Chain A
Amino acid sequence: MTDVAPDPFRNEKALRRLKKRRAADARFRLYGLSAIAFALLALSVLVASIGFQAISAATYHKLRFDIVLDPAVIAPKGNDTPAEISRNVDGFYTLIRSNLEATFPEADEDRMASRQLGELVTRLAVLPTAKWVAENPTQIGQTATIKVPLNDDLDLYLKGAVSKEFRLRLGDISAVAETAPRQVLLTGAGAFKALESLIAVQRQEVGDAVDARSTLVSSGTAMGRVTSLSTDTLEMTLLTGSASDFRTGRPMARMIALPESQRNVSDLQIAWTLALKDMGRISRVPHTSLLTHTDSTYPELAGALAAIVGSLLTMMVTAFIAIPIGIFASVYLEEFAPRNRLTEIIEVNINNLAAVPSIVFGLLGAAVFLGFFGLPRSAPLVGGLVLALLTLPTIIIASRAALKSVPPSIRAAALGVGASKMQSVFHHVLPVAGPGIFTGAILGMARALGETAPLLLIGMVAFVADVPTGPTDESTALPVLVYSWSTNAERAWEPMTAAVIVILLLFLVTMNGIVVLLRRRFERRW
């Protein structure tokens, strides 16, 4: 019968307080989780958006020509040297041009159309063909099958990146009449009902803007642009092909959401491209020229080869300078340096240099290597020197950590059997620390490979049309190519830039993969 004293920790107030505190704890945990979620989300959006763009650049469209390599056009003098033939871009382009004109005779009618037909293939796209013929002169006069890249905007159109497009099949056509030259009237009971309702739905969504849109109707290789429409009749202007093409089968209608005035490809060019595709002359092939071509002002002809070679040359210079010097410097600081003021200054210096903005190293390169020593601009030699200075602190810090992790017993044992200090370090400590040092060196190289700003300041941003052959040739580098392509205005450069980024990231992933493997293989706990 004793009164239980009220538990001061279990009364209502305390329990409420405890609940609040637990809620606060859960909230705090949630903040942490959401911070991590945010970072991971940002990373995945970044990777996804670039990957998505890059995938669209992994393939591109090529146009096939079966043409006679007419000696009168490609070797007009009769005794042209291979060099002259390979430079005769005009001749080869004329062949392609006349082939297209024969396929689409309607382009002859006005100059505008003729110019647009010429835009299907960029003039310089015939350069590889010209080189091939120059190397194989027996081909002259023969029929050859050549494939050239399609214009970048039409390539984007075929990939569906130019505009949203609504497609539907029309009903059966009962009569086809040519009311005026190139004006065609299609009749069919209820054949155009679906198209009419599509336009009605679109009118509700975008209002009168729907009138500015092109509606194209195609059958086989023929295509026309709709001018007026009812449930049973459709009037159109023929873009390519002939009215008789519409007699058989059910035509296909496509409404292009972006009005013709707002895109780089005209209705006529779309009609030709689709006709060529229908003829089986356009094929989607892997974009290998991205790896085998050098830079160009035309996206469909551009490639990253010069930049890849430039980056490799730059990395070679950097590695030859930064890795040995970094290792020797760390050996000195870790094993030999006396504890004095000078050593302390060097150490503080290295730590500071590791945090100096990379662009400051670019200024150093511009002022000292270019201005004072007069080394050539835009050269991998200078780029490599600047990047070597930039990565040196990283390599030194990593190597010192690796040397530090070697147990003192190894040094003591070496010294105990009569080795000199130098011998103990170079014969025993350094080999043991090797994998760690190598890891740090690769990480430093990976950082150097991604650096852009210092290279801009020493002029490695130049347009480079030739693959550099040595460290003093004019050159550019992969990250700089990413920058310069991203500043180009045309839409087609976006996926190209993303593709170069993927190439760059593949190099970095490989380097980091080596690091992970090394760590797994050689990590040792003492």
Chain B
Amino acid sequence: MVQQLGLLPMGWLMLALLAMLASGGFFVGRVQAERFSGAGAARTHSRPNYHGYYVAMWTFVPALIVALGYGLLGDGIVRSMLASELPANFTDMPRVELDVYLNSVARAAYHHGYTGADRVFSAIMNRFLELQGLVKVATIGLALVCAAGGFLLARRRVAPEFRARNRVEGGIEIFLFLCAAIAIATTIGIVASLLYESLRFFAEVPFWDFLFGTRWNAQTSAEFGALPLFFGTFMIALIAMLIAAPVGLFAAIYLSEYAGPKVRGWVKPILEILAGIPTVVYGFFALLVVAPAIRSVAIWINTTLISAGLASEPLLAAQPTSALAAGLVMGIMVIPFVSSLSDDVINAVPQTLRDAAYAMGATKSETVKHVVLPAALPGIIASLLLAVSRAIGETMIVVMAAGQRARISADPTADLTTITVQIVALLTGETEFDSPKTLSAFALGLVLFVITLFFNLIALRVVQKYREKYD
């Protein structure tokens, strides 16, 4: 019986329950309010609907909190209850293995049942269903009790002079604020989780060894010197910016100063397509087209140099995946980030400045170089900083086209690895949250977060200052 309860579809059930509670609350509140407003005897502050909303709010919200709590914690509670009852040979298992085992128990319980011969497994499955049933019934009970409490409290207040509308609107405003505050909660969540896991990592690996060590070998042995990763990240970002900065900037200048409205109307959206293409597509492009092309060019340079007697051995590494391939494609990806923001700031430069320059006999290019660009410089710098931050944090292109080898090499045709590549490499597959290997991914994530935050903050600040100047 309890086991059957374990199969209750809680999601739909809770949804139905909440809907019922809310509509029931609304109905009761409204009917009660109509009784005194319908007669027209008393002058009521709020329309009957608002009294309904008020009661509904107080019935619905407590139950909603219970439901959300169950959604986030319910499964975890059942699992830890089950785990504490398991015999010792289970509790001695590493956490990941236990999780995998419990996952298979849950799958068997919910989806296809278990008919095999493993009696321990079927016993655990039955107990799992029992515990699920208990927790589910308890949740429903708790939700009903809370809703009833709220309902009674709210119903007592319904009266002609009660300011139900103001209360309801106050409630809505609190809800709106909570929605906006999720942004803060997200940031706190990011910082807290990165810091927490990183601190655990730095308890095992000294901070300075991590930051300035030159040997990175997290997968096989415990070498956590992240300098080669920082080098690879900046090298690839540098190559990307060498492409994106001139192309993006000149494209922005041409579009805002030279191009007619028709060309502009066509080219600007096409450039923005570049920003809308998923990065995994760029990664595939780098892997399929750019990396082999760069490799064959590098091999050609090697053989030409050797046959010309200028070198005795191959000069370039000519790897199948290379920093140059990743950087080049990333540069293409970043172009629209530079061009569209630069275009905005160049357009924001007042026309009077240009007219003054033309009046002095300056050509268009002189006006741009000596008047418009200096005036737009802060905004342009901000756009470049945002682009750098985007390039540093970009993941898929480097995962697919930059390689896995951690080393410091100035040869752009060699494969390099980056912070993001290593985070992906460390955290895909079965992850165990206690090994320094996975914890190091969070330390790398923290570094990445701090670096990009630094660039973003400066850029946003500069943009803000700049806007104030010309607004």
Interface residue ranges, A against B (CB under 8 Å): 21-22, 24-25, 27-29, 31-36, 38-40, 42-43, 45-46, 49-50, 53, 324-326, 328-329, 331-333, 336-337, 345-346, 348-353, 355-364, 366-368, 371-377, 389, 392-393, 396, 420-422, 446, 449-453, 456-457, 459, 461, 479-480, 482-483, 486-487, 494, 497-498, 501, 504-505, 508, 512
6 closest Cβ contacts across the A-B interface?
A357-B393, A32-B254, A450-B278, A35-B250, A28-B365, A367-B193
Are A483 and B399 in contact (CB-based, < 8 A)?
yes
Complex interface: chain A residues within 8 A of B190 (CB): 356, 360-361, 363-364
- Smallest Cβ-Cβ distance to B194: which chain A residue: A363
Are A355 and B366 in contact (CB-based, < 8 A)?
no
Are B284 and A50 in contact (CB-based, < 8 A)?
yes
Complex interface: chain B residues within 8 A of A22 (CB): 363
Are A349 and B276 in contact (CB-based, < 8 A)?
no
Cβ < 8 Å to A, chain B residues 163-206: 165, 169, 172-173, 175-177, 179-184, 186-187, 189-190, 193-194, 196-197
Given contacts A35-B250, A332-B173, A512-B276, contact A356 B449 (CB under 8 A): yes
Q: How far is the CA of A141 from the CA of B38 in the complex (A)?
A: 79
Assess whether B281 is interfacial by the CB under 8 Å rule.
yes
Assess whether B126 is interfacial by the CB under 8 Å rule.
no
Q: How far is the CA of A356 from the CA of B271 in the complex (A)?
A: 23
Expressed in whole angstroms, the minimum distance between the Cβ of A515 and any Cβ of chain B is 10
User: Which of the segments B116-124, B218-226, B421-429 contacts the partner chain?
Assistant: B421-429
Complex interface: chain A residues within 8 A of B281 (CB): 46, 50, 450, 482, 501, 504-505
Expressed in whole angstroms, the minimum distance between the Cβ of B195 and any Cβ of chain A is 10
Assess whether B280 is interfacial by the CB under 8 Å rule.
yes
Q: How far is the CA of A25 from the CA of B364 in the complex (A)?
A: 7
Assess whether B212 is interfacial by the CB under 8 Å rule.
no
Q: Which of B274, B365, B392 contacts A357 (CB 8 A)?
A: B392
Given contacts A329-B180, A345-B184, A497-B284, contact A375 B193 (CB under 8 A): no
Are A25 and B365 in contact (CB-based, < 8 A)?
yes
Known contacts A349-B187, A351-B460, A498-B288; 20 further A-B pairs (Cβ under 8 A): A29-B254, A29-B364, A32-B253, A32-B258, A35-B247, A36-B255, A50-B285, A325-B179, A325-B182, A346-B184, A351-B456, A352-B457, A353-B183, A353-B187, A359-B423, A367-B194, A367-B197, A376-B103, A377-B103, A421-B169
Q: How far is the CA of A203 from the CA of B193 in the complex (A)?
A: 66
Assess whether B453 is interfacial by the CB under 8 Å rule.
yes
Cβ < 8 Å to A, chain B residues 391-423: 392-396, 399-400, 420, 423
Cβ < 8 Å to A, chain B residues 239-276: 246-251, 253-255, 257-258, 267, 270-271, 273-274, 276
Q: Which of A43, A53, A371 contacts B274 (CB 8 A)?
A: A43
Assess whether B442 is interfacial by the CB under 8 Å rule.
yes
**A interface footprint on B287-326 (CB within 8 Å = 1, 0 otherwise):** 1110000000000000000000000000000000000000
Are B284 and A329 in contact (CB-based, < 8 A)?
no
Are B177 and A332 in contact (CB-based, < 8 A)?
yes
Given contacts A356-B449, A358-B395, A483-B400, contact A49 B288 (CB under 8 A): yes
Are B284 and A482 in contact (CB-based, < 8 A)?
yes
- Smallest Cβ-Cβ distance to A361: which chain B residue: B190
Are B428 and A457 in contact (CB-based, < 8 A)?
yes
24 contacts between A and B (CB under 8 A): A21-B363, A32-B251, A32-B255, A35-B250, A38-B247, A39-B339, A40-B270, A46-B289, A49-B289, A50-B288, A328-B176, A328-B179, A329-B180, A332-B176, A336-B177, A373-B72, A389-B182, A421-B169, A450-B280, A450-B281, A452-B279, A453-B424, A457-B428, A505-B281
Complex interface: chain A residues within 8 A of B177 (CB): 332, 336-337
Are B427 and A457 in contact (CB-based, < 8 A)?
yes
Task: Provide the main secondary structure of the chain A interface.
Answer: helix
Are B424 and A456 in contact (CB-based, < 8 A)?
yes
User: Which of the segments B23-31, B73-81, B133-141, B149-157 contacts the partner chain?
Assistant: B73-81
Assess whether B18 is interfacial by the CB under 8 Å rule.
no
Are A46 and B277 in contact (CB-based, < 8 A)?
yes
Complex interface: chain A residues within 8 A of B428 (CB): 456-457, 459, 461
- Smallest Cβ-Cβ distance to B191: which chain A residue: A364
Q: How far is the CA of A392 from the CA of B183 in the complex (A)?
A: 8
Complex interface: chain A residues within 8 A of B448 (CB): 357, 359-360
Expressed in whole angstroms, the minimum distance between the Cβ of B137 and any Cβ of chain A is 20
Q: How far is the CA of A367 from the CA of B374 in the complex (A)?
A: 45
Assess whether B433 is interfacial by the CB under 8 Å rule.
yes
Given contacts A53-B288, A392-B186, contact A452 B452 (CB under 8 A): no
Q: Which of B196, B365, B393, B453 contacts A358 (CB 8 A)?
A: B393
Are A360 and B247 in contact (CB-based, < 8 A)?
no
Q: A324, A366, A389, A505 — which one has the most chain B CB atoms within 10 A of its CB? A: A366
Q: A346, A355, A361 — which one has the most chain B CB atoms within 10 A of its CB? A: A355
- Smallest Cβ-Cβ distance to A350: which chain B residue: B183
Interface residue ranges, B against A (CB under 8 Å): 72-73, 75-76, 79, 103, 165, 169, 172-173, 175-177, 179-184, 186-187, 189-190, 193-194, 196-197, 246-251, 253-255, 257-258, 267, 270-271, 273-274, 276-285, 287-289, 332, 335, 339, 363-366, 368-369, 386, 389-390, 392-396, 399-400, 420, 423-424, 427-428, 431, 433, 441-442, 445, 448-449, 452-453, 456-457, 459-460
Are A371 and B433 in contact (CB-based, < 8 A)?
yes
Are A486 and B400 in contact (CB-based, < 8 A)?
yes
Are B183 and A355 in contact (CB-based, < 8 A)?
no
Q: How far is the CA of A43 from the CA of B329 in the complex (A)?
A: 11
- Smallest Cβ-Cβ distance to A35: which chain B residue: B250
Complex interface: chain A residues within 8 A of B395 (CB): 357-359, 452-453
Q: Which of B180, B253, B271, B423 contacts A39 (CB 8 A)?
A: B271
Q: Which of B73, B172, B247 contacts A373 (CB 8 A)?
A: B73
Are A352 and B453 in contact (CB-based, < 8 A)?
yes
Q: Which of A374, A446, A505 contacts B79 (CB 8 A)?
A: A374
- Smallest Cβ-Cβ distance to B328: which chain A residue: A42
Q: Which of A24, A333, A456 contacts B180 (CB 8 A)?
A: A333
Complex interface: chain A residues within 8 A of B366 (CB): 21, 24-25
Complex interface: chain B residues within 8 A of A337 (CB): 177, 180
Expressed in whole angstroms, the minimum distance between the Cβ of B377 and any Cβ of chain A is 17
Given contacts A28-B365, A32-B258, A359-B420, contact A46 B187 (CB under 8 A): no
Q: A324, A348, A456 — which one has the most chain B CB atoms within 10 A of its CB? A: A456
Complex interface: chain B residues within 8 A of A368 (CB): 189, 193
Are A357 and B247 in contact (CB-based, < 8 A)?
no
Complex interface: chain A residues within 8 A of B277 (CB): 46, 450, 505
Are A336 and B254 in contact (CB-based, < 8 A)?
no
Complex interface: chain B residues within 8 A of A367 (CB): 193-194, 196-197, 442
Are B246 and A28 in contact (CB-based, < 8 A)?
no
Q: How far is the CA of A494 from the CA of B287 in the complex (A)?
A: 10
Expressed in whole angstroms, the minimum distance between the Cβ of A244 and any Cβ of chain B is 47
Q: A351, A353, A360, A451 — which one has the most chain B CB atoms within 10 A of its CB? A: A360
Expressed in whole angstroms, the minimum distance between the Cβ of B325 and any Cβ of chain A is 13
Expressed in whole angstroms, the minimum distance between the Cβ of A397 and any Cβ of chain B is 11
Given contacts A39-B247, A346-B183, A368-B193, contact A486 B284 (CB under 8 A): yes
Are B280 and A374 in contact (CB-based, < 8 A)?
no
Complex interface: chain A residues within 8 A of B194 (CB): 360, 363-364, 367
Complex interface: chain A residues within 8 A of B335 (CB): 39, 42
Complex interface: chain B residues within 8 A of A449 (CB): 278
- Smallest Cβ-Cβ distance to B177: which chain A residue: A332
Q: B182, B187, B392, B457 — which one has the most chain A CB atoms within 10 A of its CB? A: B182
Are B365 and A29 in contact (CB-based, < 8 A)?
yes
- Smallest Cβ-Cβ distance to A326: which chain B residue: B179
- Smallest Cβ-Cβ distance to A454: which chain B residue: B395
Given contacts A42-B332, A337-B180, contact A483 B396 (CB under 8 A): yes
Complex interface: chain B residues within 8 A of A40 (CB): 267, 270
Expressed in whole angstroms, the minimum distance between the Cβ of B67 and any Cβ of chain A is 15
Q: How far is the CA of A284 from the CA of B210 in the complex (A)?
A: 56
Q: How far is the CA of A368 from the CA of B194 in the complex (A)?
A: 10
Complex interface: chain A residues within 8 A of B393 (CB): 356-360
Complex interface: chain B residues within 8 A of A363 (CB): 190, 193-194, 423, 427, 441-442, 445
